[in-house]
Amino acid sequence: MTYCVGLLLDQGLVMLADTRTNGGIDNICCFAKLHVFNTPGERQIAVMTAGNLAVSQAVINLIREGMPDPDSGELRTIHSVSGMFEAASLVGEAVRWVFEKHGKVMRQQKVPFDVSVLIGGQIAGAPQRLFEVYSAGNFIEATRDTPFLQVGEHKYGKPILDRSINSDTSLADGVKLALISMDSTLRSNLSVGMPLDLLVYTRDRIDGGMQRRVSEEDVYFRQLRDAWSRALHDAQRAIPAPDWGQARG
Amino acid sequence: MTYCVGLLLDQGLVMLADTRTNGGIDNICCFAKLHVFNTPGERQIAVMTAGNLAVSQAVINLIREGMPDPDSGELRTIHSVSGMFEAASLVGEAVRWVFEKHGKVMRQQKVPFDVSVLIGGQIAGAPQRLFEVYSAGNFIEATRDTPFLQVGEHKYGKPILDRSINSDTSLADGVKLALISMDSTLRSNLSVGMPLDLLVYTRDRIDGGMQRRVSEEDVYFRQLRDAWSRALHDAQRAIPAPDWGQARG
């Protein structure tokens, strides 16, 4: 399994992914799911993938190496697309290409063709955008109303985002909330695992952003986990007990 | 969809269910999923169901009206079983009876045979117990290591239980945590809906327990939701920002 979350905030983009893949609970590996395509001053695009690893890796390979344009035959890559919408389209075409090549045999062997991709970033002169590409190659875009997108094991970490993420959430708060959302997921689903890959792209600053691998030993992440646990515990203690017969404290 | 949670605490049992059923997002109804079988002084048993409503209602009907014992032919009901293990077995047999009667046609019509049941309670002189019965009629029991069981849409509300529920959690805290868990689920899944049915059975007090329907207007539940939201917000604000370049506050 996997958990990846992207936040499109007024101040910029936060992308966070775990690194665990598993083919069964007895076959766990560490693979980066966050892939970064930066050309400082010109473009910064990050892609996070969930689902079948062979499909995900094929998609990343195709967008990096290039797919021929159906009309001109020219190779289009994530480095050559002229905008974020075109970048999301390219990912969608790559997904469909993999489906055409492998989908039939996967179906015969009852392996689900299962991939979803978050792609976010900015090309100089155009707005920062964030998309989610489905297994069919179609996609949706994050908006001011719903400024976050998740792929993989999204449910455990969604309540805190539903409550707290707005477009005007600061980058620092966005990072905290993404890490808290990941922490809840890590605790409840063993197939989501450390270390984490974090990326922050400040809006309109095409400088490659801030990328960090967060390990089990990371002092800040440990402090955040402890502080959050303690705060939840204190909050629950502080709520008065109901005055309902046997439920009374 | 549905969300039901049962907590088996040292002080007693907490059972909480929503009341929304849906056959598609445009067909939403209110049905009780908590069914109570009390004989004060003698037994108190509560059953909560998730899954296909026709299957759930058939199961409740069978355990109430009785199923013939395969050996003696005598009718066994939830009121006649001599222990909680036998009560869980009876639910399992009812599930299998419904599967035998309706499973084939449901499969032909591609309707999943999907039911899960929480059954908890106490028969005088025996310990309080809590079980989860699966669609196959087999079941598991809550233990001191894992004192809560959930059926239906369990993921959104699980992190707070994973963090906070232990056997020695008080009944009042158990009720608060079950309501917080439900609140997170209500916010994230529209197919889980108010009002809620809450039941508390204090251990070794076979007096029918405390049952309450919690509506949207319930003053305590509204205070709890507001207090919890505020506490999460404050907790997240209180955690210092990371000292990581562009993620810095």
Rounded Cα distance between B228 and B234, Å, is: 10
Could you tell me which chain A residue has the CA closest to the CA of B210?
A246
Could you write out the DSSP letters of every residue in A68-113?
E-TTT--EE-TTT-SSHHHHHHHHHHHHHHHHHHHHHHHHHTT---
The distance of B248 to chain A (nearest Cα, Å) reads 5
Q: The CATH number of the domain where A204 resides is what?
A: 3.60.20.10
Residue A80 lies in a domain: yes
Residue B8 lies in a domain: yes
Task: Using an 8 Å CB-CB cutoff, list chain B residues near A172.
Answer: 241-242, 247-249
Whole-structure pTM value: 0.91
Q: What is the mean pLDDT of residues B197-225?
A: 97
Interval A58-98: pLDDT, tens? 999 999 999 988 889 899 999 999 999 999 999 999 999 99
Residue B246 lies in a domain: no
Of B155, B224, B236, the CB nearest to A164: B236
Residue A191 and residue A153 in contact, taking contact as beta carbons nearer than 8 Å: yes
Sign of the torsion angle spanned by Cα atoms A219, A157, A146, B176: negative
Q: Which domain holds residue B38?
A: 3-240
**What is the structure's pLDDT at B51?**
95
Mark yes or no for CB contact B160/A238 under 8 Å: no
Percent of chain A with pLDDT over 90: 90
Residue A212 lies in a domain: yes
pLDDT at residue B100 is higher than 70: yes
Residue B248 lies in a domain: no
**What is the structure's pLDDT at B28?**
84
Stretch among A181-185, B164-168, B244-248 having the lowest mean pLDDT: B244-248
Residue A248 lies in a domain: no
pLDDT at residue A25 is higher than 80: no
State whether residue A170 is helix, strand or coil: coil
Mark yes or no for CB contact B160/A187 under 8 Å: no
Residue B131 lies in a domain: yes
Beta bridge partners of A115: A51
Residue A249 lies in a domain: no
Task: Using an 8 Å CB-CB cutoff, list chain B residues near A220.
Answer: 242-244
Substitution target in A13, A189, A244, A248 with the highest count of B β-carbons within 10 Å is A244
Binned at pLDDT 50, 70 and 90, residue A155 comes out as: very high
Mark yes or no for CB contact B241/A173 under 8 Å: yes
Q: Residue A73: which region, alpha, beta or left (left: phi > 0; alpha: psi -120 to 50)? A: left
Could you tell me which chain B residue has the CA closest to the CA of A164?
B233
Could you tell me which chain A residue has the CA closest to the CA of B185?
A159
Question: What angle, rounded to 10 degrees, do the helices at A84-108 and A53-65 form?
Answer: 140
Residue B18 and residue B154 in contact, taking contact as beta carbons nearer than 8 Å: no
Rounded Cα distance between A88 and A142, Å, is: 12
Q: How many domains does chain A have?
A: 1
Interval B103-136: pLDDT, tens? 999 999 999 999 999 999 999 999 999 999 999 9
Interval B34-91: pLDDT, tens? 999 999 999 999 999 999 999 999 999 999 999 988 889 899 999 999 999 999 999 9
Mark yes or no for CB contact A246/B210 under 8 Å: yes
The distance of B10 to chain A (nearest Cα, Å) reads 14
Report angle CA B219, B220, B224 to the nearest 5 degrees: 120
**What is the structure's pLDDT at B106?**
96
